[in-house]
Amino acid sequence: MTEEIIIAGFGGQGVLSMGKILAYSGIMQQQEVSWMPSYGPEMRGGTANVTVILSDERISSPILNQFDTAIILNQQSLDKFEASVKPGGVLLYDPNGITHAPTRKDINIYTIHAAEEAAKSGMMKTFNMIVLGAFLKIKPIVEEENIEKGLKKSLPERHHKMIPDNLKAVNLGKEKVILAQKA
C-alpha cells in the first residue's frame, strides 16, 4: 500500500500538524512515512501545504506532482492542486470560503464542513482533526488506536489532556463527511 497525500490551506489551520499526526500514525503501524512541508514566509498567514506519504515500501521522492488524495482548505489551494489529483483519486475540501467549486469529473469529491462543525462544538482548535476524521472515513489507512498513539507522539506532553477532544473531533469528521461526486 502506498498513499500519496497533499494537505493544503492557510497557515494556522493546522495543515502541517495534521500531516504530522498522520505520519506518526503510519510509523505506529510499521509503515514508511515522509512529511515534506512548503516552508518559509508563506507559512506565516499565507498558504501552507505538506506532502505526506505512507507506504509499506521504501519511499522514493518526498516531492510529487500527482496525488492519491488532496485535502484542501482554501480557494488558492483548490486552484493550485485540483489538477494534481490522480484520475480516480480523492479530493476532500471544506466548502467554507470556497467560491469556485471543483470541476473535475474523473475524481471522487468529498466535502466536510469542518470550520462550521468546529465552531458549533466550540472547539475551534480541533478543526484539523475533523478534516482528518473525514479523510479516514474515506480512506481508513490508519487504525484509530494508531491515531491516538500518533497524537501522543506528536503533541507535547502538556497538551496530552486535549487528546480525548481530538479523538472526538476525528469521529465527528467521520460522521459528517459527504460524498459530493463520484468519479
Binding site for other proteins (CB under 8 A): 20, 23-24, 27, 32-37, 39-41, 59-66, 153-154
Q: Which is nearer to other proteins, 2 or 171 (CB)?
A: 2
Least Å from the CB of residue 178 to other proteins? 31
Q: Which three cell numbers stand for residue 119?
A: 465552531
Q: Which is nearer to other proteins, 16 or 112 (CB)?
A: 16
DSSP E strand boundaries for the chain: 2-10, 32-37, 47-55, 67-72, 85-93, 108-111, 178-181
Least Å from the CB of residue 161 to other proteins? 21
CA atoms within 13 A on the CB side of 151: 23
Q: Which is nearer to other proteins, 122 or 156 (CB)?
A: 156
Q: Which is nearer to other proteins, 120 or 159 (CB)?
A: 159
Q: Which three cell numbers stand for residue 143?
A: 487504525
Least Å from the CB of residue 76 to other proteins? 18
Q: Residue 51: name the closest of 40, 38, 61, 36 by CA.
A: 36
